[in-house]
Amino acid sequence: MSEKTTGAFASHIKDANWAEGLRPYFLYRDLGINTATDGKVLAHVIRANQSCDGPMGYHSHALDFQMNYLLKGWARLDFEDIGEVRVEAGDAWYQPPGIKHEVLEYSDDFEVIEITMPAEFPTQDESR
């Protein structure tokens, strides 16, 4: 299989491109799943780009599926009708479609894999 062909099947760390995205305090690394699935699925790594200055803002996403797997660090999250949840490296969580949530705090080494369906979706800022 040529390197050009394998690009749709593998994302290599040596080729990693960290870019700004939805939140300015995070950097995002696309894992190539968006392109491989024609936009049906997004898989990316999100990592802290700066120290946490406090709650990130209550918001929701209009999508069909969202899950996260924490690779490094820890975070405190708040979910509508669930409450505060602390996650640490190795923990995973599912976010039901449209659930209102907020990142309250995260460690400087925070790094998470996020998978969503579809790959592109609107985010709505919410008031409490």
Confidence band of 3 (pLDDT split at 50, 70, 90): very low
Q: State residue 125's pLDDT score.
A: 86
Q: State residue 56's pLDDT score.
A: 78
Averaged pLDDT for residues 51-71: 92
Prior bond to 97 cis, omega within 30?
no
Q: State residue 9's pLDDT score.
A: 65
What is the set of domains in the chain, with CATH numbers? Answer: 3-125 (2.60.120.10)
Averaged pLDDT for residues 74-99: 96
Alpha helix positions (H), the chain: 3-6, 33-36
Q: Which residues pair with 46 in a beta bridge?
A: 28, 112
Place of tokens 């995070």: 26
Place of tokens 């069909």: 64
**Mean model confidence pLDDT for the chain:** 89
